[in-house]
Structure 1
Amino acid sequence: MKHAYFILILILTLFLNACNSKNQKSKNTNSPTIETTYFGEKPPGLIPVMFAPDIVSPEGHFEGGTFSPDMKEYYFSRKNGKYEKRTFFVIRYENNRWGNESETDIKWPQFSEDGKMIYGGKEYRKRTDTGWSEPKYQGEFLKDQAHGISLSSKGTYYFGFNEKKGRGYGSIRYSRLIDGKRENPVKMSKEINTGRWIAHPYIAPDESYLMWDAEREGGYGDSDCHISFRQKDGSWGTAINLGDIINTSSSESSPRVTHDGKYFFFSRGDWEVKEDESTNWVGKTYWVDAQVIENLRPKE
């Protein structure tokens, strides 16, 4: 009798496990697989390579973009060629494949850690049952926000700020959320705010490091990507140029790390002088293993 009871329990356990596995598989059928994550591009090593998936750039005019944390949406832009003006697109992963792109009015979005909010510039949107809400104004604390914005897990914004001193001048500031209210922007120290064209900050989710781009003495050319690690006392360490692996005589900018923490993306390009003597930035997106950041982190 005990033997028969044991067999019955075993059969029931196997049945429940099979059902759970089936349900789990069903839940994941609409999630990108290893083969389709990052559009199936071969992951880079410690030397940057161009990120140029044919799926978003069949004509080679892809500039750069951002994946949502769940990897089901990709927002990107194209410029040059037939795209005289920068044009913004979104492509979604649906029915086990990446679909066709469609134009969008969402420009340069960044995602909150949980993927429930996108922000960019002075506005934000929240995810709804039918998509994204209409843009809403973030508040007066961002009225002079310039190029680039990044949000930490603590809810602190780091952003480029217009100094109004003239062309090429700017700084990076931050605003914490205190008792449900945004503090006035706080200018960061000279460890960060030295040089010209200071812009495009990226704050690590845990705020252990900050990356940005700027022109500084001793650099490699135009703007270079830099990093500063937070010290034990809460201050920011000396700015570190990311070196000739990342920076070149061209202009490197917009450093970012993917939501999974695996890859470091940035832009590389040059300023092109047109016939009317106006300038146009022509650049591409590169990616590299995020280990390059850890290799620079000061040892305890």
Structure 2
Amino acid sequence: MIQRKTVAKIGLLISAVSAQWSVQADDKLAVILNNLEPSLFAPNIVSTNQFEYGSSLSPDGKKFAFVRALARFSHSALVISHKQGDTWQTPTLLPFSGEFHDTNPYFSKDSNTFYFTSRRPVENVENGIFQMWQVSYDGDKFGKPELVPGKINGDHTVIYPTIHTNKDIYFSSIIKGATGSVDLFLSKYHPDGYQAPIEISELNSTASDADPEVSSDGKLLFFTSMRSGGLGHYDLHVSVKQKDGKWGKPINLGDKINSRRMDSDPILSADGNTLFFSSDKNPDVKAVNNYDELLQRQERIHNGLMNIYSVDITELNQYLREKG
């Protein structure tokens, strides 16, 4: 029989080892985050001196949909670029977009369905509320948009919805009684229509939390947040699903991804190893000496408008899954 003092010593030893492992694990995470190298995605084709954000890559990796917008999000339309060989082609307007304020494109990762949100008119729905729409596609041919059925749509706006492989929808919204100003929600799939939104309370803060994207295996959830402790604006975070089914404490993705400006709209490639996001980081704010120089500055990619970035997160994926 082990004596009580011996048990206590063993307990202290285990605690010390656990604490040491935790420090080492955090140090390893810091190194991984510091090694991330985001870059402009398809510069001068997708990422330009115009206002682009909110992207989605098709499962086959050959279509890239994103948003082109006017200043201050006053109007936006959905455009698409096709990959030929290793080169992304000049974007074109999606056939159903342009007339109304459309945003938040999303290719389902396991079907030929394309999703987006829009302020296009809906009977008995207040003007200005974004509703979630779906449209089937076959190759380059897109069908007619239809409202996503069920309670995902209602008297609340739907912000940046993404669809998990089990067909559940993760999205952000402003719903009375929730935790913060903008919060994360889940609407579960049902054959008769999506169920009423459920707040993901363990991730929401009293600030703004938005733009959720869940990995295909359901173990990681990326989102953006204005919570305290960040770099000053919306920062990208990731949370790991715990054994009890709850989401773990969010991890800020660090200053190689985030900036003092807006970093948002995280989207994963089909294999989960590439993260796409939107940002207006790295603006060229140096003084200008004349009017021509000012015009030239406005023509550059880093002119203060949003752009789309991509980054390889293979090592981060492996670490988070091992830790979780």
TM-score normalised by L of structure 2: 0.65
CA contact (8 A) 1:195 1:217 kept: no
Counterpart in the other structure of 1:157 = 169
Over residues 67-100 of structure 1, what are the superposed CA-to-partner deviations in whole Å (9 max), with x where a residue is unaligned? 211233222333569x995454223346997554
- Partners of 1:267 and 1:98 lie apart in 2 by 18
Tell me, yes or no, if the aligned pair for 1:155 and 1:176 is still in contact at 8 Å: yes
Deviations 1:115-144 (A, max 9, x none): 410111210011248712111111332222
Q: Secondary structure at the match of 1:220?
A: coil
Q: Which amino acid aligns with 2:238?
A: I
Contact kept, 8 Å, 2:173 with 2:182, in 1: the verdict is: yes
Report the counterpart of residue 285 of structure 1 in structure 2. Answer: 308
Distance 1:50 1:129 in 2: 27
- Where does residue 116 of structure 2 map in the other structure? 120
Corresponding residue for residue 172 of structure 1: 184
User: Which residue pairs with 2:52 in the alignment?
Assistant: 63
The size of the alignment, in residue pairs, is: 243
Letter in 2 for 1:126: S
Distance (Å, rounded) in 1 between the aligned partners of 2:248 and 2:87: 44
CA change 1:262–1:178 in 2 (3 A) is: same
**Partner AA of 1:153 in structure 2:** T
CA distance in 1, matches of 2:84, 2:42: 21
Return the letter of the residue paired with 1:108: N
Identical aligned residues as a percent: 29
- Find the aligned partners of 1:218 and 1:77 in 2 and give their Cα distance: 29
Kindly indicate which of the two structures has a greater share of residues assigned to strand.
Answer: 1
**1:173-225 CA deviation, whole Å, 9 max, x = no partner?**
11112454422111112x31114222111111221111111111111110111
Q: Which runs of 5+ in 1 are unaligned?
A: 1-44, 273-280
Q: Which residue of 1 aligns with 2:159?
A: 147
Q: Tell whether the 8 Å contact from 2:233 to 2:261 is kept in structure 1 after alignment.
A: yes
Q: Distance in 2 between matches of 1:246 and 1:96?
A: 25
Residue in structure 2 matching 1:89, options 79, 88, 99: 79
Residue 297 of structure 1 and its aligned partner are, at CA, apart by 4.5
**Cα RMSD, aligned residues only:** 3.1
Long gaps (5+) in structure 2: 1-34, 98-102, 118-131, 284-303
Equivalence for 1:20? none
Checking the alignment, whether the CA contact within 8 Å between 1:87 and 1:103 is kept in structure 2 is yes
Tell me if the contact between 2:104 and 2:160 (Cα under 8 Å) persists in the aligned partners: no
How has the CA–CA distance of structure 1 residues 213 and 101 changed in structure 2, closer, same or farther, with 3 Å as cutoff? closer
The 3 A distance-change label for structure 1 pair 239 and 129 is closer
Q: 1:133 to 1:226 in 2, by over 3 A?
A: same
CA separation of 1:136 and 1:87: change in aligned 2, threshold 3 A: closer
1:299 aligns with 323
Does structure 1 residue 206 correspond to structure 2 residue 212? no
Q: Of the two structures, which has the highest relative contact order with CA contacts closer than 8 Å and spacing of 6 or more?
A: 2
Equivalent residue, structure 1, for 2:236: 225
Structure 1 residue identity aligned to 2:232: G
In structure 1, distance between residues paired with 2:87 and 2:266:
28
- Against the structure 1 CA distance between its residues 98 and 283, is the aligned structure 2 distance closer, same or farther, given a 3 Å change threshold? closer
Amino acid at match of 2:254: G
The residue number in structure 1 matching 2:38 is 48
1:134 to 130, 137, 144: 144
TM value normalised by structure 1: 0.70
Whether 1:258 aligns to 2:281 is no
Structure 1 residues 160 and 221 mapped into 2: Cα distance closer, same or farther (>3 Å)?
A: same
Shift of 1:258: 1.0
